[in-house]
Structure 1
C-alpha cells in the first residue's frame, strides 16, 4: 500500500519542523499528527513523509530534520523505524536501542538546531 501526503500537509510539516528547530525543541509523533490534522492512516502518512524528508536531507548532505520527531514514551527517542531509515541512508549503524542510538540521535538533533536550511521550493 502506498501512502501519500498532500502538499498542504507536507508544507505544514516543514513549517512545524522549522518552528521546532528555531525554538530548539522536539515534537512527538502524536503532537505532530494533531497539529497537522492528518487523516487516517495518520501515523503511516507521517512516517512516510518523515522518511521522504530524511532522504532529501541526506541527499543534500544536511542534518536530518526528521530527528526532531520523537516518541512520547520514556526513551524520548524516535521510533525504531527512524533508526532503520537512517541506517538505510548510511547515517547510522548499530543497535536501534541503547546508548549508541541515543548518543547518535542527540548529536543529530544538535546538528539540526545549528543548521540553516534553505527555503523549500
Structure 2
C-alpha cells in the first residue's frame, strides 16, 4: 500500500498511540480517523500508516504499536490486514480470526503496554 500521510498526521498518530499505551487502552480505527481528522481515503491512509509503523517496529525488534488499533465490532480485534501484515513481518502465523489470532493479539498488546518507546523509535 503506497498512500502518503502528512507529517502532522504521522506525528498525531504516534502521539495517540503513545497516549493509549500509557493509559493502557485500545483505540478504534474510527476514533483514530476522527481524532486525526484524516482526509479521504481515511481508512486506506490509516491502514497504510499503521502497516508502515509495524514494519518500522518489527525492523527495530520492538512490539507492534499498531496492535493498539482495533475494530469497533464484537471481536475487538484489528482488521484482518493487521494480521496479514504481522505475518509478512514474521511476527504472526495463522488465520486472521479465531482463538490463535485473539491470543497473539492480546500478548502483543501486553508487550506494547509494557514497553517504553523512545523518541528514536518514532
TM-score (norm: length of structure 2):
0.97
Deviations 1:37-63 (A, max 9, x none): 000000000000000000000000000
- Per-residue CA distance 1:4-44 (angstroms, 9 max, x = gap): 00000000000000000000000000000000000000000
Distance 1:29 1:95 in 2: 21
Q: Distance in 2 between matches of 1:56 and 1:20?
A: 19
Separation of aligned partners in 2, 1:97 and 1:72: 15
Question: Aligned partners of 1:2, 1:29: CA distance in 2, in Å?
Answer: 19
Gaps of 5+ in 2: none
1:29 aligns with 2:29: yes
1:40-119 mapped onto 2 (5 Å cutoff): 40-119=40-119
* Displacement of 1:2: 3.4
SS of the residue corresponding to residue 119 of structure 2 reads coil
Q: Is the 8 A contact 2:2 2:48 kept in 1?
A: no
What TM-score, normalized by structure 1, do the two folds share? 0.98
Q: How many residues align?
A: 121
Query: Unpaired segments of 5 or more residues in structure 1?
Result: none
Distance in 1 (CA, whole Å) between partners of 2:104 and 2:2 is 30
> In the aligned structure 2, how far is the partner of 1:65 from the partner of 1:3?
19
Q: In the aligned structure 1, how far is the partner of 2:97 from the partner of 2:52?
A: 22
Tell me which stretches of 4 or more aligned residues in structure 1 moved more than 4 Å.
none
Q: Root-mean-square deviation (CA), in Å? A: 1.0
